[in-house]
Amino acid sequence: MKKFNKDRRNCLTGLQSLYQSFDPVVSINSGQVFLWEKRGNSWYGVHGDRIVRFAQMIDGHAEFAAFPEDRLCEQKMFRMGDDVRAIFSEISRDPLVRRLVRTYPGLRLMRQEPHQCLFSFVCASNTNIPMIRRMLYTLTRKFGRPVHVDGIEFFTFPSASDINRASIDELRACGLGYRAKAIKAAAGAIATGQLDFDVLKSTGYEEAKKELLQVYGVGNKIADCVLLFSLEKLDAFPIDVWIARALAGHYRWLHKKKFGDKITPHQYEQLSESARDYFGRYAGYAQQYLYYHMRQSAGKKW
């Protein structure tokens, strides 16, 4: 069991305090992950074949545990090994991002299980966060394995093989609608080895994205989310409606032509390349701060 200090009293005074001000609550409620819920003083999350819990303590610490036990789970999931000092220093060369890093000092990227991440963002297409959660919770209850933590029954995220064995109708019954076909296709690609996440982690951004785009139902945004949140491509820069608005409003020099909330695949590729060139090797971190800020500013709930 690990303990991380999350005292926020001095979080805005100097970079050193920024490096140490990681806040799990902010990070899990930032549109990266969806299968988390609060019960009492504890948060419980589904992380692949494990249930993860952290409890907010009176002394300002958070206690973490994974079920079944994995002593490194929290470090991996919350990317505790990232060189946050170097990341903040690099992305803070942009004035807006520098301000956002100080405004939201607890926000970090999270590392997800690749298959869970892929299925999550397929479900996330053309819908809102409450609906995404509903679909994923239904999937876990129908195809996952029960795990009891603190007397509460949770369900692990089903494997690709488990989902691949399901019929399209069974998947539609989980509320997936038209996404059922894409979920089935993704599960089949993983189960048959067509999509090998270990290989994709070791390849470059362009090649890994090319492989993901070959899967039915996976477009630019889904691929970039999977690359950023689960395949170690920290330069990936997913673009959704919120990021499109951020680029249109604050980074007009990155694009030659005006665009609306809905962008074409060609526009996406141009914007993504320009953003990755501008923000650099940690463009994905910059993207997360921009995304969080745009939704917060609009008063959207997580």
Q: Does residue 269 have a pLDDT over 80?
A: yes
Please give the C-alpha separations between residue 76 and each of 93, 110, 132, 201, in angstroms, as whole numbers.
27, 8, 24, 15
Indicate the range of 81-85, 155-159, 245-249, 255-259 predicted with least confidence: 255-259
Does some domain include residue 127? no
In sequence order, the β-bridge partners of residue 37 are 44
Which pLDDT score, from 0 to 100, does residue 60 have? 67
Domain count, the chain: 1
Q: What is the pLDDT of residues 74-132, one digit of tens each?
A: 999 999 999 999 999 999 999 999 999 999 999 999 999 999 999 999 999 999 999 99
Q: Does residue 257 have a pLDDT over 80?
A: no
Indicate the range of 37-46, 57-66, 173-182 predicted with least confidence: 57-66
Does some domain include residue 242? yes
Does some domain include residue 293? yes
Which pLDDT score, from 0 to 100, does residue 4 have? 37
Closest-CA residue to 281 (of 224, 241, 236): 236
pLDDT grade, residue 15 (50/70/90)?
very low
* 59 exposure class (CB count in 10 Å sphere: 0-12, 13-18, 19+): exposed
Task: Please give the model's pTM, rounded to 2 decimal places.
Answer: 0.91
Look over the chain and give the mean of its residue pLDDT values, rounded to a whole number: 91
Mean pLDDT of 41-50: 96
Reported as half-sphere exposure (CB side, CA atoms, 13 A), residue 288 has a value of 29
Note down the domain range covering 246. 82-101+232-270+277-302
Does some domain include residue 64? no
Does some domain include residue 239? yes
| Cis amide bond preceding 68, omega within 30 | yes
Does some domain include residue 299? yes
Sign of CA dihedral 240, 230, 191, 268: positive
Six-digit token string for 227: 């690359």
Find the helix or strand (DSSP H, E) in which 170 lies: helix 168-171
Does some domain include residue 265? yes
Does some domain include residue 243? yes
pLDDT grade, residue 8 (50/70/90)?
very low
